[in-house]
Amino acid sequence: MKNKVFSAQEAVARVKDGDHIMVGGFLQGGTPDVTVRELIRQGKKNLTVTSNDTGREGCAVYDLVFAGHVDRVIADYIGLNPKTGQMMIENPDSVQLFPQGTLAEKIRAGGFGLGGILTPTGVGTIVEQGKEKITIDDKEYLLELALRADVAMIRAHIADEAGNLVIRGTARNFNVVMAFAADYVIAEVDEIVPIGELDPNHVTIPGTLIDAVVKGG
Amino acid sequence: MKNKVFSAQEAVARVKDGDHIMVGGFLQGGTPDVTVRELIRQGKKNLTVTSNDTGREGCAVYDLVFAGHVDRVIADYIGLNPKTGQMMIENPDSVQLFPQGTLAEKIRAGGFGLGGILTPTGVGTIVEQGKEKITIDDKEYLLELALRADVAMIRAHIADEAGNLVIRGTARNFNVVMAFAADYVIAEVDEIVPIGELDPNHVTIPGTLIDAVVKGG
Amino acid sequence: MNSREIIARRVAQEFQDGDVVNLGIGIPTLAANYLPEGVQITLQSENGMLGMGPAADPDQATNDLTDAGGNPVTILPGGCFFDSAVSFGLIRGGHVDKTVLGALEVDANGNLANWMIPGKRIPGMGGAMDLVTGARRVIVAMEHVNRNGSPKILQDCKLPLTAKGRVSLIVTNLAVISVKKGGGLVLEELAPEVSVEEVIEKTGAPLEISPNLKPMPILD
Amino acid sequence: MNSREIIARRVAQEFQDGDVVNLGIGIPTLAANYLPEGVQITLQSENGMLGMGPAADPDQATNDLTDAGGNPVTILPGGCFFDSAVSFGLIRGGHVDKTVLGALEVDANGNLANWMIPGKRIPGMGGAMDLVTGARRVIVAMEHVNRNGSPKILQDCKLPLTAKGRVSLIVTNLAVISVKKGGGLVLEELAPEVSVEEVIEKTGAPLEISPNLKPMPILD
């Protein structure tokens, strides 16, 4: 079986300028900070970032946006990252906002081979602009399309050497759906254990989805 | 907090003739047999049943169909229940078949408040009959609509008294999505423990979805 | 009793034993401190938890267990964790009985605006649109007027909406107002020392007066 | 070497180290017994498992750990469990590298029919449509002709399709045939003691002969 454990430097070296990167986490919870900081260190540029919130002060994805590595953001909340807010004011097309549940479903659809989903969320609001509306049994839904990325950077508590991930607490957030939705997936973890040590009932994310496991800080 | 532990007799008494019942399980794996047999004992009739397969010999849902309690079936595979096959031959409208992944997504959509999903599965086959086709980036998808039921009968390994469920092994199958998709949810389990005994990281299905917990055989 | 406490106490009376509730940041969160006797509720946190408990002690705080504001919290016995897709499945799928949120504006048709001020502040909608669309009952908890003294309850919201026609009840420091199905506001309750006239004056939409108009039941 | 073994041995050579593979019931499942040296694959079972192991000993057998045929099995170290929605997310989302299935008919455009015979047998499609639609590479493993000696490889399938244009490779007891992008069949390999003429005769669609035509590499 192929070795999946890499240094952050090795794992991030495969990222290209212009890539679309999904970054797991919810504010400072469950964020792959060592991996994202390596993007800054390696000077990757013109990135698109999908993130729940692009972080708050102290988060690596916050610094990534502030340091100018990101051209385009997809998120649901950017209230704690003024730089993302500034990007949106200067160029409204550079930041796309979706309702949080819609963003989660779009990413899941991308990873699960679905073309999109119908959600009632956003009907009658500006979120419906430019989207197809479909009526079923007299109820209106928005067609929200699947979202995929080149790279996903996610965070877990424990990985085994096959990439199986155990996440604890509220750190699952967007990490789970993003693991399915990118061509190249880097999982940053607190601890790496040999194959066979994890209870298969407790695995949050199947190891077959993970390309690189990186030891976090 | 309300007590959720009931006898099978009490839990099933709330089911009405004509109800649509989702029954979890995959062949004989993870099936709520005690609860389903109680439907037979109480003589509930004219039921619609959604099930992966309507069981095989020895399964309660197999007997439920054979004993004539079921007017309509929604499934993906009925090859091991000849009575369901016979229903389909006698009245093609009485049995609706969907691809397994589509059936899982339809039920999930029903439980997750989505109107439906777009899947590539079934495009170019008879499964697309009567369904809307939507093209996105030159790829065709079928719009498959959400499915909900009046009742879900599911199976788990352990429940706590709040209804939180832990499922082991391959018994998760349809039990997980069905727990979200019905107005009244009965969980049949091997073991019931006091609140606080389950690790919140290991809960497969949130207890807030469960109306009745029944001790299985 | 200050405004925030009046609102929080009155909101708490809307909860029934066994309710699953999602509380917005600010006044709504305070409501959990004033549950009526015998009423236990389960708090849902949209970042991925049911059974949210109080703030974590500093020595127990971890980024792996936070609330939707990112603050370290605890989980109560009987709680559980899940990912964002499941969390919003619970919300959108009608598995959250009540949500309580603040508002910039709310109107006579139950429309709510609480996520952006064009040209000024666009923090994003976060989970608010899904919560207001999906929760079984939507309760707005807010000061009756804004900082300039202008009504926040209007005939029609002027700001971009969070969701259309989903608000059932408005609880403010002055009054409790219900939204009729199909539209229209009914003044149901008055805060201590508040008159019908004051509420009418500070409300930007016509108010029907309930035949059962009564004082807010917010005794300790 | 019997037909089934020939097919299973040849199919096994399609697997690369690290592949995630879903094997249909029957001949496809046998392929796992003939993995080339140094090749480890992970078996996906659509009822909710990665890392499926051999059949369970009778004293270990449980209905909580079965394969997609309902037979008690084991899970290997490094495996994990999930529900049906996630399982088909893996399948439909392209996270299964290869699927191997039997067929009633397969045609020159890579169409596959393997789930129903109208008026005769309608067992349902189970997971087959999702597998054929979603797996990165679809391999058909079957006897070259049916019980009446009629070709199962046709110009156009007559039976209701499982999926359109998704088959890449056909492995039979007589030959290995690839499906060209855009349609058309290429005879790539011959089983021991089988002639080009025999394959052409028993195939219901025109065959291009590969310039690299070779014997099936199924030595022990």
Residue B2 has a pLDDT of: 77
Q: Which of D14, D46, D105, D188 is catalytic?
A: D46
CB within 8 Å: B176 and D160: no
Q: What CATH number belongs to C3-215? A: 3.40.1080.10
Q: Contact A184/A149 with Cβ under 8 angstroms?
A: no
> What's the pLDDT score for residue D219?
65
Name subunits touching A (3+ CB pairs < 8 A): B, C, D
Q: What angle do CA C103, C108, C109 make, to 5 degrees?
A: 95
What average pLDDT does the structure give for chain C?
96
Nearest CA to A77 out of C116, C163, C55, C119 is that of C116
Token code pair at residue B115: 């109107």
B146, B109 contact by CB (below 8 A): yes
Q: Is the pTM value of this prediction over 0.90?
A: yes
- Which of A160, A200, A209 lies nearest to residue D95, judging by beta carbons? A209
Banded model confidence at residue D44, pLDDT cuts 50, 70, 90: very high
What residues are paired with B192 via a beta bridge? B159
Burial class (CB in 10 A: 0-12, 13-18, 19+), C54: exposed
Chains in contact with D, where contact requires at least 3 CB pairs less than 8 Å apart? A, B
How many beta-carbon contacts under 8 Å exist across B and D? 152
Nearest to A101 by CA among A52, A32, A40: A52
Nearest CB to B208; choose among C85, C95, C134: C95
- Chain A residues with CB under 8 Å of C111 CB are 124
Q: Is the pLDDT of residue B83 over 90?
A: yes
Angle at B21 between CA B20 and CA B24, to 5 degrees: 150
Name the packing angle between helices B100-112 and D84-92 (round to 10°).
Answer: 120
Instruction: With an 8 Å CB cutoff and a minimum of 3 pairs, decide whether chains D and C touch.
Output: no
Q: For the domain with range B8-215, which CATH number is right: 3.40.1080.10, 3.40.190.10, 3.40.930.10, 1.10.8.60?
A: 3.40.1080.10
Summarize pLDDT for B118-153 with one digit per residue, the tens. 999 999 999 999 999 999 999 999 999 999 999 999
Q: What is the pLDDT of residue A2?
A: 77
For residues D46 and D68, give the distance between their C-alpha atoms in angstroms, rounded to a whole number.
6
Residues of B in contact with D122 (CB under 8 A): 78, 85, 88-89, 97
Distances (CA, A) of B14 to B21, B73, B150: 12, 21, 11
Q: Which among A143, A177, A203 is the top mutation candidate for probing chain B, defined by the most B β-carbons within 10 Å of its own β-carbon? A: A143
Per-residue three-class SS string for A44-74:
CCCEEEECCCCCCCCCHHHHHHHCCCEEEEE
Residue A1 reports pLDDT greater than 90: no
Task: Give CA–CA dist C133/C112, Å, rounded.
Answer: 10
Contacts of A30 in chain C (CB under 8 A): 63-64
Task: For residue C56, give both structure tokens.
Answer: 């974590």
Domain definitions of chain D by residue range: 3-215
> CB-based contact (8 Å) between B136 and chain A?
yes
User: Closest Cα partner for D65 from B192, A201, A165, B178?
Assistant: A201
The residue to which tokens 């609860």 are assigned: B35
Q: Do C50 and B206 touch (CB under 8 A)?
A: yes
Reply yes or no on whether the pLDDT at A76 is more than 90: yes
pLDDT digits (tens, 9 = 90+) for C71-126: 999 999 999 999 999 999 999 999 999 999 999 999 999 999 999 998 887 899 99
Task: In whole angstroms, give the CA distance from residue C144 to residue A197.
Answer: 57
Q: Active site includes D46?
A: yes
Sort A80 into a burial class: Cβ within 10 Å, 0-12 / 13-18 / 19+: buried
CA distance A204 to A211: 16
Confidence of residue C1 (pLDDT cuts 50, 70, 90): confident
Asked whether the beta carbons of B112 and B92 are under 8 A apart, the reply is: no
| Confidence grade of residue D220 (pLDDT, cut at 50, 70, 90) | low
Q: Across all residues in chain D, what is the average pLDDT? A: 96
Beta carbons of C95 and B180 less than 8 Å apart? yes
Residue B62, both tokens: 């197999």
pLDDT at D128: 97
- Contact C140/C24 with Cβ under 8 angstroms? no
- Nearest by CB: B100 against D65, D130, D165: D130
**CA B140 to mean position of chain CA atoms:** 29
Which residue of chain B has the CA closest to C96? B208
Nearest CB among D80, D88, D91 relative to A203 is that of D80
Residues whose CB is less than 8 angstroms from the CB of residue C167 and which lie 6 or more positions away in sequence, other chains included: C106, C110, C111, C112, C132, C138, C139, C140, C179
How is D48-86 classified by DSSP, letter by letter? TEEEEEEEPPTTT--TTSB-TTS-BEEEEEEEEE--HHH
Q: Which residues contact A143 (CB under 8 A, 6 or more apart)?
A: A116, A117, A118, A131, A132, A133, A134, B118, B134
pLDDT band at C219 (very low <50, low <70, confident <90, very high): low
Q: In chain A, what residues touch C68 (CB-CB under 8 Å)?
A: 26
Residue D70: its chain B contacts at CB < 8 A? 26-29, 56
CA distances from B83 to B29, B46, B86 (A): 20, 15, 5
| Per-residue model confidence as pLDDT tens digits over D65-93 | 999 999 999 999 999 999 999 999 999 99
Task: Characterize the bridge pairing of strands C167-171 and C153-154.
Answer: unpaired
- Is residue A65 within 8 Å of residue A54, measured between CB atoms? yes
Tokens of A79: 């209230």
* Residue A112 with chain D: CB contacts under 8 Å: 85, 88-89, 92-93
